[in-house]
Amino acid sequence: MTGLDRRLVTALKDAHALQQHVQAVLSETLTSVADEPELCRPLGHFAERSRVHTREIEDRLRAHGASASLVRDAGWLFASVAEAAFGPGHRAGAAKYVRDAYSAVHLQIAVGELLRRLAERARDMETARIAAGMCADGQEMSRELAQSWDLALEITLREHGLGDAGRPGEGR
């Protein structure tokens, strides 16, 4: 195994760990917006695509004679659980969960971009294809989430008894 191949395996392990994090964040977000089909549909679709990418990454790791890193996976999952349980988003409402999902999606895009480029240099076109798919799905979800800020804020305000709070452009 060349040095470039070792770097690719490390990048695949990192991508797998990040996918675990993305799935945990999406699960929390889906729970927080369960009664809002406008948010649930795209988030649910993206969660399914994320699971597909995780399986594809696992396949690529096996193709390289490796497996996911339990330590990396556990670290990302612990971070997700700790944020959900104790972080500033705890019971804070849909807006913060959507914010966290938006951040996780952008991490996925960044990891996918680097993985794709590294895979191309290592001439692993299958991994490059998978990474490009991660990026495309992440960019699509980013656009969906970017259009949901007002809805997420409305849900949060409603949850806190502020459903009648003014909207932008309305007088005070």
* DSSP designation for 122: T
Q: Where are the domains of the chain?
A: 3-159
Residue 53 has pLDDT above 60, yes or no: yes
| pTM for the predicted model, two decimal places | 0.81
Alpha carbons within 13 A on the beta-carbon side of 28: 29
User: Is the pLDDT score of 146 beyond 80?
Assistant: yes
First-to-last CA distance in the chain? 66
- CA neighbor of 11 nearest in space, from 79, 55, 69: 69
Q: How far apart are CA 53 and CA 86, in angstroms?
A: 29
Higher pLDDT, 160 or 132: 132
What percentage of the chain has pLDDT greater than the value 90? Answer: 56
Mean pLDDT of 35-59: 93
Residue 165 binned pLDDT confidence (cut-offs 50, 70, 90)? low
Rounded to the nearest 10 degrees, what angle do helices 70-86 and 3-32 cross at?
Answer: 30
Contacts of 77 (CB under 8 A, 6+ apart): 20, 21, 24
The CATH number of 3-159 is: 1.20.1260.10
